[in-house]
Structure 1
């Protein structure tokens, strides 16, 4: 009847629990039979019956403790894996710690019950255990603090794997969030390991969480551009806006702005304010915009002030021919320089466009993989043949490819901060 009832249940763990409980149930039936037999055989001898009854109770306690340990062995890995998925943390290192702690607690509890059944005074043992616990607790103070901080981070989730953060002066991408520490990879490929205790008491800047849902990784880009006093502010502002609107890395909402910010000793200062769609594109967007601004300033004859000294003199008449020759040479050099600059500009524009298109293709591929990942997760959650909810090889391959593509984006960002 019990098996028939279990077979009708949709719970995927009831079969496992019943298999583990079957030896305990059988032993309980046998021990109950022994109990009644002993009580009947030694009806007149209470001391023998009590001794044998205590022996049966001790055996039953052992069976119950063993059953509890088996449950821990089955369900602790499942609970840890569930936490891994929900919190996006690697709790594998703490799995053995949780299992060992629960196992010790079960057997110690069982031993205390057995001692009480045998009328053994355990006051001295408890006092010694208390002292040992205090010593161990003092020795593991830092470890315990990191554990608690790690669990708090699981609930609070100030950042996730893949986010760009600044913690304690370290800026980089989060590559692992463990129960004891967090690993951050900087733009120089240095891996920084920070204890969770240190993070919990410090300010965390998360670049991946500031924007709205459609552009969560957007970042503000501000550029200061100085021009000469002879330039028209309206002309300069319009030129800056034209450039930034041509950049595919920049989003339209919030709209970019160009403001006349200050009048310096030798320049009019303008502030170009815009938003980059993804923080990994910040430095390539900065490069693209500054390059185009310089080209437009040259094409439209907008003066860019810089420190220089100008010497003027009237050459004597005997040097007129030399001056003409120098002027011709200068004109030739100027023409050659202009040709080289034009070729370099064409080449740079082609490379910049190719880089932009390549990053677009990578992002499109990442979006496709994220969609495939969601479908794979949905299939796994609905798969009745996978009661433990394990991660399929296909899903692991998708995650690996996403990580590789995101690494390519970071490599091409030029971020050295």
Structure 2
């Protein structure tokens, strides 16, 4: 028989009274451990929590709250093991009870470890810099990795508690893994690509990206999952793209860079002979008076080239978000056309003159 722990000496006088009733001894010991568990969770933990409340951080308060349930059940279940040993239930029953209690305790402390790691990772990500390994974008990845790791360790210890040999299970898992790998290689490729995307963060939720894969798909990232990434196009159509495609494609992040502002270009041509200083002044005025255009960086105008039939200018200005690109370009083009008409600035366009030498069948 496995000896767990001797009965507390403080109960020896009581044990002598019930010497002929082992089950009564077991009940008394179990009740004694329950009282200790209540004392720990109702008296000592609140005292520690009041002391922790004086600190500036709230993390210690949450950890103490998470400790309440596993600490109570740990002491209670240890008391159950001691009570079963004293009650002389037999080696076989005690061993079964030991395996059950160990499994329950491993499960309880696994949940505590998962919650604690999630809490600590959230704190670390909230205080992280832009180039830190743990940040809000990578938080789901590390949370899932820690949860899976704790779960694997818990399964291992539970198997050990029931004296189950892991060798055969691991061999079977390896064979099954190879079969699943061949059967679901596309799914696994998406999963691994999703992990790399979360770790590398080439884009984040809310960014406007363009896929340079021949389709020119452009949209706002609404979700980044383990298997796929979802984009909301300007047509309000949600497109789901497998992460394997995202990982192997060139992605242009219009919201990336030092700030989310996006530069738009408005090309316009004017006729030869027009005052170029006047054209530049009109274009700058239009950009500066538009409320959707940013003043920092300032708008600017560039005289690009001498075209075949026009002087080609380009108005460069910034908007707060790539989402505004189409709307602002429409407003700028409309205003440019109206002001050029008012100011007499000619916008050249292709013209063809047709000369008819003679009509067929015409005679003098």
Considering the TM-score relative to the shorter chain, is it more than 0.5? Answer: yes
2:271 equivalent to 1:188: no
Aligned to 1:308: 351
SS in structure 2 of the partner of residue 270 of structure 1? strand
Decide which of 227, 232, 254 is 2:297's aligned counterpart. Answer: 254
Distance 2:116 2:203 in 1: 24
The structure-2 alpha-carbon separation of the partners of 1:164 and 1:267, relative to structure 1 and needing over 3 Å to count, comes to same
Aligned to 1:372: none
Greater displacement, 79-88 / 124-133? 79-88
Alpha-carbon contact 1:87-1:157 (below 8 Å) kept: no
Distance 1:126 1:246 in 2: 70
Alpha-carbon contact 2:268-2:313 (below 8 Å) kept: yes
The structure-2 alpha-carbon separation of the partners of 1:266 and 1:132, relative to structure 1 and needing over 3 Å to count, comes to closer
Greater displacement, 292-301 / 106-115? 106-115
SS in structure 1 of the partner of residue 313 of structure 2? strand
Counterparts of residues 39-78 of structure 1 (less than 5 Å): 52=91, 56-73=94-111, 76=114
The structure-2 alpha-carbon separation of the partners of 1:272 and 1:130, relative to structure 1 and needing over 3 Å to count, comes to closer
Counterparts of residues 5-404 of structure 1 (less than 5 Å): 5-10=44-49, 11-32=61-82, 35=85, 52=91, 56-73=94-111, 76=114, 87=136, 106-107=154-155, 109-115=157-163, 124=168, 126-167=170-211, 168=213, 169-211=216-258, 216-309=259-352
Alpha-carbon contact 1:262-1:269 (below 8 Å) kept: yes
Alpha-carbon contact 2:114-2:150 (below 8 Å) kept: no
Deviation at 1:115, TM superposition (A): 2.7
Deviation at 1:171, TM superposition (A): 0.7
Distance 2:239 2:315 in 1: 34
Deviation at 1:297, TM superposition (A): 1.8
For structure 1, list consecutive stretches of 5 or more residues without a partner in the other structure: 39-48, 313-417
Alpha-carbon contact 1:87-1:154 (below 8 Å) kept: no
Output one character per residue of 1:346-388: Cα deviation in whole Å (capped at 9) or x when no partner.
xxxxxxxxxxxxxxxxxxxxxxxxxxxxxxxxxxxxxxxxxxx
CA RMSD of aligned residues (A): 3.9
Distance 2:115 2:188 in 1: 21
For structure 2, list consecutive stretches of 5 or more residues without a partner in the other structure: 1-38, 50-60, 127-134, 356-364
Deviation at 1:243, TM superposition (A): 2.1
Output one character per residue of 1:72-117: Cα deviation in whole Å (capped at 9) or x when no partner.
456657866976996369969x97x99799657634542344336x
Deviation at 1:186, TM superposition (A): 0.7
Distance 2:175 2:288 in 1: 70
Greater displacement, 131-140 / 166-175? 131-140
Deviation at 1:183, TM superposition (A): 0.7
Alpha-carbon contact 2:67-2:112 (below 8 Å) kept: no
Deviation at 1:185, TM superposition (A): 0.9
Distance 1:58 1:181 in 2: 45
Alpha-carbon contact 2:229-2:240 (below 8 Å) kept: yes
Alpha-carbon contact 1:220-1:274 (below 8 Å) kept: yes
Alpha-carbon contact 1:181-1:194 (below 8 Å) kept: yes
- Equivalenced residues, count: 290
Alpha-carbon contact 1:21-1:67 (below 8 Å) kept: no
Output one character per residue of 1:297-348: Cα deviation in whole Å (capped at 9) or x when no partner.
2122222212235689xxxxxxxxxxxxxxxxxxxxxxxxxxxxxxxxxxxx
Deviation at 1:142, TM superposition (A): 4.0
SS in structure 1 of the partner of residue 163 of structure 2? helix
Distance 2:260 2:166 in 1: 60
